[in-house]
Amino acid sequence: MSFVRQVDSVDRRLLEALRANARATFAELARLVGLSAPAVHERVGKLEASGVITGYHAAIAPAALGLGVSALVGVLQGDRGDSDRIFAALNDMPEIEDCWFVAGEETFVVKVRVADMPSLEQVIGALNRIRGVARTRTTVVLSTRFEGRAPAPV
């Protein structure tokens, strides 16, 4: 069960260490933050239980998988569109890596990863055919300077 948890300076150092190396052992983390391995194990468990740590992931290079084109696509819902129905359609598209429900002109912003420009054109066409979508607005990513860098809690 998730609950609000105060994150102190030791927790912040643990979070930064885990972001740098999620495979670090409790002994390694303990050395970094000046606690015992059992104390670190307990703190990490509390961070997980409270929802501060939501998972551990392998970072993948999309280009190494043949996904060399990234784009951010704003999805504008029509007057009669149903955001739940649009979300369900977006969720079914494997080319969409991330999806955000946003305030502003767009209803959703999605991150698309595909092999090439013709593939991006196909995805944009599929997005525009979703019932309830009025139009899309696409920004092609030229290069990624950094990604997935959530700030450490203050």
pLDDT tens for 35-50 read 999 999 999 999 999 9
Q: How confident is the model at residue 57 (pLDDT cuts 50, 70, 90)?
A: confident
pLDDT tens for 16-38 read 999 889 999 999 999 999 999 99
Identify the DSSP state of 5: -
In the predicted model, what is the mean pLDDT of the chain? Answer: 93
Domains of the chain: 9-49 (1.10.10.10), 62-140 (3.30.70.920)
Q: Distances from the Cα of 80 to the Cαs of 29, 60, 93, 109, in angstroms?
A: 52, 38, 22, 19
**pTM tops 0.85, yes or no:** no
Cβ neighbour number for residue 57 with a 10 Å cutoff: 8
Tokens of 127: 């997005």
Which one has a higher pLDDT value, 72 or 59? Answer: 72
